[in-house]
Chains A and B, each alone.
Chain A
Amino acid sequence: MGFLEWLQGTWFGVLVAESLWGYPIFETIHTIGMAMMIGSLGLINLRVLGYKPELPLLDTRQLLPLAWIGFTLNAISGTALFTSDAVYFWGKYTFRIKMILIILGGINAALLGGRVFREAAAGAPASPPVLTGTKWIAFLSLVFWFGAVIAGRLIAYTP
């Protein structure tokens, strides 16, 4: 028996799949976590791209806790949903695309954080100038995260 079969056969996998509330509860949490992540990361990336220049660029990092809460909620709820039907999800190409987009989004966020928040931290003005390369990272970040939303929604409709 492979890992995926074992996973969906665990008491937890069975609970999420078969209980009346399990699946809808985690799905709802997944949707709310999504709004938290897209809202906070979306605003940071748009600010890097030049939207609302009156927002102090370095202070947009104060939105990161909201992004992390959303990410944690979605890692937990996503894992729970996956556990309920592991073989099914793993076989979907949209699921795999979504995972790749999340990994790319994560690498991207780390790069952006390094460029915008850490390099500029010591004695920099509140809104240091943004390099073109950094803007590309912010743009790709929006593409990756919205892509993850789209791929995730399409899991139910693709082979």
Chain B
Amino acid sequence: MEFLVWLESTPIANAIRTIPWLYPMFETGHYIGLSLLVGGIMLIDLRVLGFARGLPLKSMIGLLPFVWVGFVINVFTGSMLFIYGATNFGTNAAFMLKMGFMVVAGLNALAFDLSVRRSGGSWVAADRPPTLVKGFATLSLVFWICVVTTGRWMAYL
């Protein structure tokens, strides 16, 4: 709690409190990052699950840089928003759940990445994702929807 109080009194937090357009700007940035991150992940996961087969699987997995750009934007903007309201967000049950889902979604993405590397990309080229990988893709969709949902819910607790 002391740490959260300290965070809220840092110059960054004060700047966000006093400059009126700063908070809306970070929040808007967070939504644009979300669109890139979740939009990109959805395209990859749905393609692995058989949606839009006319688009090569390899190219669609190649959308990952967009996902990373969205992730970096949201870690930055999310940190700014958190610093501003640290004592509120840091004790918010929806925020804790959101962080939990992000960790699980991250581990899931790591498992997906490892299965691409281990296979040497053979199923990617052949466009035949193993059942296990389809499982990772399904879980990924579920986890990221949970991240968005719990994030949205933070405002109501």
A120 CB–B CB distance under 8 Å: no
Would A31 and B148 count as touching, CB distance under 8 A? yes
- Whether A39 contacts B31 in the complex (CB less than 8 A), given A31-B152, A60-B55, A62-B54, comes out as no
B52 CB–A CB distance under 8 Å: yes
Chain A proximity of B13: nearest CB distance (Å) = 18
Residues of B within 8 A of A (CB): 21, 23-24, 27-28, 31-32, 34-36, 38-40, 42-43, 46, 51-56, 59, 62-63, 145, 148-149, 152-153, 155-156
- Residue numbers in B under 8 Å from A10 (CB-CB): none
Would A63 and B43 count as touching, CB distance under 8 A? yes
Contact of A35 among B21, B35, B54, B55 (CB under 8 A): B35
Would B152 and A28 count as touching, CB distance under 8 A? yes
Contact of B32 among A52, A56, A150 (CB under 8 A): A150
Contact of B38 among A35, A55, A63, A154 (CB under 8 A): A35
A interface residues, tally (CB under 8 Å): 30
Would A28 and B148 count as touching, CB distance under 8 A? yes
A143 CB–B CB distance under 8 Å: no
The secondary structure that dominates the A interface is: helix
Would A36 and B59 count as touching, CB distance under 8 A? no
- Residue numbers in A under 8 Å from B32 (CB-CB): 146, 149-150
Residues of A within 8 A of B (CB): 23-24, 27-28, 31-32, 34-36, 38-40, 42-43, 52, 54-56, 59-60, 62-63, 66, 146, 149-150, 153-154, 156-157
Chain B proximity of A94: nearest CB distance (Å) = 10
The secondary structure that dominates the B interface is: helix
Chain B proximity of A95: nearest CB distance (Å) = 15
- Whether A39 contacts B153 in the complex (CB less than 8 A), given A59-B54, A60-B55, comes out as no
- Residue numbers in B under 8 Å from A154 (CB-CB): 24, 28
Would A35 and B34 count as touching, CB distance under 8 A? yes
Q: Name the residue among B35, B36, B145, B156 with the largest chain A CB count within 10 angstroms.
A: B35
- Residue numbers in B under 8 Å from A28 (CB-CB): 148-149, 152-153
- Residue numbers in B under 8 Å from A35 (CB-CB): 34-35, 38-39, 42, 148
CB-nearest residue of chain A to B94: A24
